[in-house]
A and B are shown apart, each in its own frame.
Chain A
Amino acid sequence: MKKWLQQDSWRHLVGISISLFSLFPLYLVVISSFSSSGSLQLTSFIPKEISFKNYQLLFNNPAIPYLTWAKNSLVIAGSVAVLSVIIGSASAFAFSRLAFKGRKTGIQLLLLVQMFPAILAISAVYVIMERVYKFAPEIGLGTQPGLLLVYLGGAMGVNIWLLKGFVDSIPAELDEAAKIDGASEVQTFWLIFVPLASPVLAVVALLSFIGTFNEFILARLFLVDMENRTIAVGLQQFIGGQYSQNWGPFAAGSILASIPIVIIFLSLQKYIVSGLTAGSVKG
């Protein structure tokens, strides 16, 4: 009995100390967001005041278009998620279910392409989109549609790869049955496969959403106008730019933006782990 207690107590010790390590920065942000001093100082562990000043600032200060940033992030990440899953699942379906010449070469090529870190080609993307801007200012550098297209292309490799892994694990009996009933491949895809795979597609769409939401550097290069920015870029400028060291509103803004992401993440934990095991890694 005593031995068991001993064994469990080291487990709790490890659990508690590492939990404190992971909670500390988060706790600090929460108390900073409710403090009126506007700094990220640790004055005491128990907050002395609860002020909503920072939250009000986000919504009432015209110099901080927080809601516009949030809308931009939602629109861009949402479109990338939906479109990349529709387009990616078609390719994944073909890789997984159709027999054709060059299938193996195709998979190997895809593997190589999805390994290319998008950030390495960033100067090329920049120069290309600068040229596109010259003849089509609506979709070139500095525009949200342009950024969306770049994200969509960049997400394609990883998403097809991830989806292919998931699709391989869905039994093929139903679409084979549909084939016997005389359905064409395109019909099988839309009417049998997509409804059947919709939970998986939703998971990949949400993963893609989180990934795009988190993307920083392309968004920063692309979106120069205050009104065009995404949350990640907007909030970064808060503490780096003209609002130098304005931690209060930054903390409030980060918390509001993180809550939905954290909720999505925690509810998808199981799939995320298996998806990450399938090839892509964060952190």
Chain B
Amino acid sequence: MMYFMRGKVALAFKIVLLSLISAILLMLTQSAFAQREYVIAAFLGLTVFVLAITYFTKISIPLKFFIPGILLLTAFVIGPILYTVTMSGFNYKTGNIISKEEAILLIEARGIEADPAGISFDIKLGISDGTEAILVSDIANLKYFISTTNSRVGIDPRDVTLNEFGVAINAPNFRALTDSELAQADTLFSKKRFVYEGDYFIALEGFEAGVVSRQVLEYVPSTDQFKNLVNGSMYSDNGRGNYSLPNDAMAILEPGWRAPIWFENYSKIFTDPRVREPLVRVFIWTVVFATATVLTTFALGLLLALALNKPIRGRRIYRSILVLPYAMPSVMSILIWGGMFNTEFGAINTLFGSEIAWFSDPNFARLAVILVNLWLGFPYFYLISSGSLQAIPSELLEAAAIDGANPRQIFRKITLPLLLQILSPLLIASFAFNFNNFNLIFLLTGGGPRNELDGEIAGATDILISYTYKIAFGSSTQDLGLASAISLIIFILVAAISLYGLRKSKVLESFS
């Protein structure tokens, strides 16, 4: 074995594997660069470089162990975290998704208007003098001409071939596209402007019709403005990702682009009542939900642990049944509970003979969420508490009993405080976990019920993370900038809670 690892086979294996990975990465680097994704390209290129240095030199032995993990962490955890930070400083939402260059091109392309008389022609796509051209039939006036992007040549009606509708399908110095060429013609033809008269040009509408149009909005690179060619008004960059009229901030050109707005997403959270009010409500419920979950799961788990702390009959059977909710894939159990709370057919209402509309009433929905999470979470605290109960020295309890304390006093004065001390880091960790328990909310209630009328997307059972998800993906206007800002605030909160819990456990270690 030793020989094998030291031998040439291992070395050859290493070289082949690394070359293969590097080759793939270099290929990706190249195509990323070609697509102008420079940051990704730079990261991929750097990866190849780092891999070569680490595994073909003796620069650092620990690095040989760390590099694969570090690279993956950087690409899919640290990278996205940094990107979240960046996004939170941008006006990055529906209508402002693309870059400024792309936005200018789109505004120009869309900034045309059809001729007021609504003239349109039947056309045929083809090639003339080696460039893309259209053969236009003005059937009303029996005029025919070939138009390219820079010229227009009239044709004698006697020279054209007409089809049964009177549309010219062929002419001298013109070759119509074949069906297979037509299939690929979209990119070549659809954005082109074919010469008509004066300011007006012919824009394609599908492959068989052309509409006479003219440019209304024109980009002025020297001043970075858009000019309305018809009425002369100027649209300027408003610094927030749109071109707008100086005296009317609402008159903006679509689409906008993602523009840096620095801390505005953050300040919006605290100052804009439309953002702040739902957020405060959601935050309060998040804290209530996480606290209630920790308390109920811990209480039920502890009760069980105390009850089964003695070798009574059937303890093993109890134990295997009681951990089942924890062992089941949680996605499935949550969905099952969702069905059980159904008003008409649900097993809960059938069992209790009630007719509660669980997910339509805010308070019942909240109760249901906490109840389901109790079911999911109590086995964890049962397992943990039973383990910890064993760790409490029995001398302590015996001493108390000798001193005349009754069982209840022993529990309240000795067992519970000791247990809380041992378990407090785990209670805090559980709080932090439930603070972000997205799956439960998303799969059980979807955050609902919510008031559809006022257009507010936050529902009664939405917690911060599910609300953030809705802001980013779930509604008609997706605001990735704001969602990122809220995400980072949640991270700071959760990290603070977790670090606090960790310090508690450190304090504990130093005592034991």
Q: Which residues of A contact B (CB under 8 A)?
A: 7-8, 10-12, 14-15, 18-19, 21-26, 28-29, 39-42, 87-88, 90-91, 93-94, 98, 100, 106, 111-113, 115-128, 131-132, 134-136, 149-150, 152-154, 156-157, 160, 183-187, 189-191, 210, 213-214, 216-217, 221, 232, 235-236, 239, 245, 247, 250-251, 254, 257-258, 261-262, 265-266, 269, 273, 276-277, 279-283
Q: Does A113 contact B40, Cβ atoms closer than 8 Å?
A: no
SS of B interface (majority): helix
A–B pairs, 9, beta carbons within 8 Å:
A40-B342, A90-B69, A121-B80, A124-B83, A128-B40, A214-B331, A245-B339, A281-B433, A283-B379
Q: Which of B378-419 contact A (CB under 8 A)?
A: 378-380, 383-384, 387
A11 (CB) vs chain B CBs: closest residue: B307
Q: Does B339 contact A239, Cβ atoms closer than 8 Å?
A: yes
A127-B480, A157-B73 known; A120+B307 contact, CB < 8 A: no
Q: Which residues of B contact A (CB under 8 A)?
A: 1-2, 5-6, 28, 31-32, 34-35, 37, 40, 60-62, 64-66, 68-70, 72-73, 75-81, 83-84, 87, 297, 300, 303-304, 307-308, 310, 312-314, 318, 320-333, 335-340, 342, 345-347, 350-351, 373, 375-380, 383-384, 387, 426, 429-430, 432-433, 436, 438-439, 442-443, 465, 468-469, 472-473, 480, 483-484, 487-488, 490-491, 494-495, 498-499, 502
Q: Does B321 contact A22, Cβ atoms closer than 8 Å?
A: yes
For the complex, give the distance between the alpha carbons of A265 and B333 in Å: 15
For the complex, give the distance between the alpha carbons of A8 and B73 in Å: 52
Q: Give, as a whole number of angstroms, the nearest-CB distance from B349 to chain A.
A: 9
User: Chain A contacts of B465 at CB under 8 A?
Assistant: 117, 119-120
For the complex, give the distance between the alpha carbons of A98 and B387 in Å: 33
Q: Which of B347, B380, B443, B469 has the most CB of A within 10 A?
A: B347
Q: Which residue of B28, B327, B438, B484 contacts A135 across the interface (Cβ within 8 Å)?
A: B28
A220 (CB) vs chain B CBs: closest residue: B442
Q: How many A-B residue pairs have CB under 8 A?
A: 294
Q: Which residue of B332, B336, B383, B490 contacts A28 across the interface (Cβ within 8 Å)?
A: B336
Q: Does A191 contact B87, Cβ atoms closer than 8 Å?
A: no
User: Chain A contacts of B375 at CB under 8 A?
Assistant: 21-22, 25
Q: Does B65 contact A189, Cβ atoms closer than 8 Å?
A: yes
Q: Does B304 contact A18, Cβ atoms closer than 8 Å?
A: yes
B85 (CB) vs chain A CBs: closest residue: A124
Q: Does B80 contact A124, Cβ atoms closer than 8 Å?
A: yes
Q: Does A19 contact B340, Cβ atoms closer than 8 Å?
A: no
Q: Give 11 new A-B contacts, CB below 8 A, not counting A11-B307, A122-B472, A282-B326.
A: A8-B312, A14-B308, A25-B325, A25-B333, A25-B340, A87-B72, A156-B73, A187-B6, A254-B332, A266-B320, A279-B429
A10 (CB) vs chain B CBs: closest residue: B307
Q: Which residue of A12, A87, A120, A266 contacts B491 across the interface (Cβ within 8 Å)?
A: A120
Q: Does B487 contact A120, Cβ atoms closer than 8 Å?
A: yes
Q: Does B339 contact A128, Cβ atoms closer than 8 Å?
A: no
Q: Does B347 contact A122, Cβ atoms closer than 8 Å?
A: no
Q: Which of A25, A42, A282 has the most CB of B within 10 A?
A: A25
A187-B6, A217-B442 known; A149+B76 contact, CB < 8 A: yes
Q: Does B69 contact A236, Cβ atoms closer than 8 Å?
A: no
Q: Does A257 contact B72, Cβ atoms closer than 8 Å?
A: no
User: Chain A contacts of B494 at CB under 8 A?
Assistant: 115, 117
Q: Which residue of B77, B325, B472 contacts A116 across the interface (Cβ within 8 Å)?
A: B77
For the complex, give the distance between the alpha carbons of A11 and B79 in Å: 52
Q: Which residue of B1, B75, B324 contacts A153 across the interface (Cβ within 8 Å)?
A: B75
Q: Which residue of A10, A18, A150 contacts B300 across the interface (Cβ within 8 Å)?
A: A18
For the complex, give the distance between the alpha carbons of A61 and B221 in Å: 60
Q: Give, as a whole number of angstroms, the nearest-CB distance from B88 to chain A.
A: 10
User: Chain B contacts of A24 at CB under 8 A?
Assistant: 347
For the complex, give the distance between the alpha carbons of A186 and B5 in Å: 9
Q: Does A258 contact B332, Cβ atoms closer than 8 Å?
A: yes
Q: Does A127 contact B61, Cβ atoms closer than 8 Å?
A: no
Q: Give, as a whole number of angstroms, the nearest-CB distance from A281 to chain B.
A: 5
Q: Which of B70, B312, B327, B351 has the most CB of A within 10 A?
A: B327
User: Chain B contacts of A266 at CB under 8 A?
Assistant: 320, 323, 327
